[in-house]
Structure 1
């Protein structure tokens, strides 16, 4: 003899429902279909009212698509290191030059940023002196227009 799983009894189902804070296109379609199924056959829904509801549904769907597209655009711009560091172009940056073989610091180097690129998700600053450095290697940023004459600079 087969038995019925007790979890399927109506008495074991939740007694209260948790309402959704938003009405999406799926809920709107369910309401519209229920309304069409339960209408009075002797007095069917007015054509204009039906067309109005379908236009509302279409408008709702387009707004949701536009909202999703804008959200994706914002997310892609927040993630892109090129966009995050594009304001550095034209700025003068200083970084520590390190000997690749020994790992010894050779001194502070200053150069102007001419381009920003990306490699494996990291921002790469391309400098006027031909070097390419990671953005997190910068120890100082300055505006070249506010510096004093080159002869008055302190070099390290």
Structure 2
């Protein structure tokens, strides 16, 4: 014979509830249905009052959906590492190169960024020389000088050596 778990008895369940200051669409619909079920059959709810409540419910639902959509849009735009690092496209960057097999540090290399992608939530810069590096590995960002084809450091003020 199977036994019933005593934890499932109603008297063992928590009867307290935490009131919420917000009225969601489910609670609103539940109140409306309770009101319809418990109305006096000899004096039913006025049609205009019922229509007003339904319009209020519809407005509440649309407002909640719009708020959720805006929240999702803002979250997608502020979190994307591709958007945050897209300004690096066509910039010349310097980065520390490493030996892939041993992990030993090599010389500092320079290349132009041709694309920005995302891998496991991190921005990956695709370089003109075929390398792919994480954006946080960049040591310096340069932009090409249009007049003479040279690169100029993308910082303001004097250089660290004191020459300009």
TM-score tier after normalising by the smaller chain length: 0.7 to 0.9
For the residues of structure 1 that align with 2:131 and 2:45, how far apart are their CA atoms? 73
How far is 1:48 from its partner? 1.5
Q: May I ask how many residue pairs the two structures share in their alignment?
A: 146
Q: Which has the higher contact order (CA 8 A, sep 6+)?
A: 1
Tell me whether 1:123 sits opposite 2:126 in the alignment. no
Q: Secondary structure at the match of 1:93?
A: strand
Q: Does 1:8 align with 2:11?
A: yes
**Unaligned stretches of 5+ in structure 2?**
1-6, 154-164
Structure 1 residue 21: deviation in Å? Answer: 1.7
Cα distance in 1, alignment partners of residues 61 and 37 from structure 2 = 22
In the alignment, is residue 97 of structure 1 matched against residue 97 of structure 2? yes
The secondary structure found in structure 2 opposite 1:133 is strand
Question: How far apart are residue 128 of structure 1 and its match?
Answer: 2.7
Distance in 2 between residues matched to 1:74 and 1:98, nearest whole Å: 37
Matches within 5 A, 1:74-89: 74-89=74-89
1:25 aligned partner: 25
Matched residue, 1:106: 106
Counterparts in 2 of 1:28-39, with a 5 A limit? 28-39=28-39
What is the CA deviation profile of residues 47-79 of structure 1, one whole-angstrom value per residue up to 9, with x for unaligned ones? Answer: 111111111111211222222233333333344
The aligned counterpart of 1:68 is 68
Aligned pairs for 1:31-50 within 5 A: 31-50=31-50
Please say if residues 144 and 150 of structure 2, whose CA atoms lie closer than 8 Å, have aligned partners that are also in contact.
no
* TM-score, normalised by the number of residues in structure 1: 0.72
Q: Deviation per CA, 1:67-102: give whole Å up to 9, x if none.
A: 223333333334432222212223321101223344
2: CA distance, partners of 1:121 / 1:152: 31
Alpha-carbon separation, structure 1, partners of 2:91 and 2:150: 16
Shift of 1:145: 4.6
